[in-house]
Amino acid sequence: MDALALPGTRNLEKEWADCERQLHATAMPDVQRYQSDLRALRAEADRLADDHTINAFVERWTSLRPDETDHWAMLVRGAAFALRASQIRAASDARRVLERITLAREAGQTWAVLQDTGTADREQSAEFSVTTMHLQSGFAILSMGQYAPMNTKITYALAVIRLAPDTGTLIEATPGLADWLETSSRAEHEASVETWRGRIEAGIQQG
């Protein structure tokens, strides 16, 4: 079953994340307490091992939510839910990436789009993030456009990273090619993407 949650669960996930932050923040000055909290967190997370969807977590949280007067127990439980939700989403993302790689290979493609946020025909004012991997070498182009804080214009960025060709997992974030290229020009950015696609296809090697 897909790990993605139904609409309306995001607030609960934020609540779990807040519990996780509070638990770690209150324990950090005390090493023994921090270690004790980690043991409690892991034990609580182990109890959730048989739940494999975010929606299942929502049902369990609703039925087993601790008495809010026991603040520590609530933080531990919320942190455990945050940990397992993160693990489930990571596993779901990994499966999705593997499916895209498999489909691209079966179709005889040279590149596979592993991740894309935004539409393929993005408007000039729309933010986006796209990761495209060269199936033979594993070199991938991360292309994005984002509004910087206090800035009304989009900044475009490109980075070349190295992934495992068979799984899409990260091998090297900075292989020494294009570690982070920024520009305010959409046309210049798209030209850089095409240039790097050509260089990678031509046999760019690490170093």
- pLDDT tens across 133-175, in order? 999 999 999 999 988 777 778 899 999 999 999 999 999 998 8
Which of 149, 158, 198, 164 lies closest to 178, judged by CA?
Answer: 158
CA distance 30 to 148: 37
Distance between the two ends of the chain, CA-based, in angstroms? 42
**Which has more pLDDT, 41 or 206?**
41
pLDDT reported for residue 189: 93
pLDDT reported for residue 49: 87
pLDDT level of residue 102 (50, 70, 90 thresholds): very high
CB 104 within 8 A of CB 125: no
Q: Mean pLDDT in the chain?
A: 85
- pLDDT tens across 30-68, in order? 888 889 999 999 999 998 888 888 888 888 887 766 566
pLDDT reported for residue 206: 44
CB 81 within 8 A of CB 93: no
- pLDDT tens across 178-203, in order? 889 999 899 999 999 999 999 999 98
The arithmetic mean of pLDDT across residues 105-110, rounded, is 96
% of the chain beyond a pLDDT of 90: 49
The arithmetic mean of pLDDT across residues 70-96, rounded, is 90
